């Protein structure tokens, strides 16, 4: 699939089959994250894979969306709080940008593998970190339920609504 076709057809999946995701596909998703470009190649983020039944159930109980429970696994990506690239003249950290780039690579690889996900940003950070203390040192940029889209899964009505390029572009 060419990139623009993949980018156009990929959508936020909010309805999943119960079918498990094969380890080979999980490995490819993790590889896509690893290959994501980051500032000074610092890779100042962590990937948290919720694949065990206990961890996934615990996470599901913290998320208000029913589709979270349907997905057989989930990944959270957290930006490091203390290490990573800082721009020299103003100390701006690129860690959240880098974690978001990694998440985007992951999302596109998930779609290329015939799987689905959505970028879940609506969650109680404190509750999640209380349940999973290993996340405490990271700024979570998102939680991503992952699985095979249900046969009746479809893009939201807003999916194809895009601003025209001339509304996004400023020629200088």
CATH number where 97 lies: 3.40.109.10
Contacts of 35 (CB under 8 A, 6+ apart): 105
pTM: 0.93
Query: What's CA 56's distance to the chain center, in Å?
Result: 16
Q: What is the extent of the structural domain holding 10?
A: 3-168
Tell me the C-alpha distance between 85 and 28, whole Å: 26
Question: What tens-digit pLDDT sequence spans the chain (172 residues)?
Answer: 599 999 999 999 999 999 999 999 999 999 999 999 999 999 999 999 998 999 999 999 999 999 999 999 999 999 998 888 988 999 888 999 999 999 999 999 999 999 999 999 999 999 999 999 999 999 999 999 999 999 999 999 888 899 999 999 999 9
**Domain count within the chain:** 1
């Amino acid at each position: 699939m060419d990139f623009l076709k993949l980018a156009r057809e990929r959508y936020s999946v909010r309805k999943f089959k119960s079918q498990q995701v094969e380890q080979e596909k999980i490995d490819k998703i993790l590889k896509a994250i690893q290959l994501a470009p980051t500032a000074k190649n610092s890779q100042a983020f962590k990937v948290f894979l919720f694949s065990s039944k206990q961890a996934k159930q615990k996470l599901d109980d913290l998320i208000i969306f029913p589709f979270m429970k349907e997905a057989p696994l989930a990944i959270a990506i957290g930006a490091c709080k203390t290490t990573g690239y800082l721009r020299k003249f103003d100390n701006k950290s690129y860690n959240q940008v880098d974690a978001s780039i990694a998440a985007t690579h992951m999302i596109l690889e998930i779609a290329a593998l015939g799987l689905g996900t959505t970028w879940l940003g609506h969650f109680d950070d404190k509750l999640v970190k209380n349940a999973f203390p290993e996340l405490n040192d990271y700024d979570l940029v998102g939680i991503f339920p992952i699985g095979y889209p249900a046969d009746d899964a479809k893009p939201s009505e807003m999916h194809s609504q895009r601003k025209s390029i001339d509304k996004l572009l400023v020629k200088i």
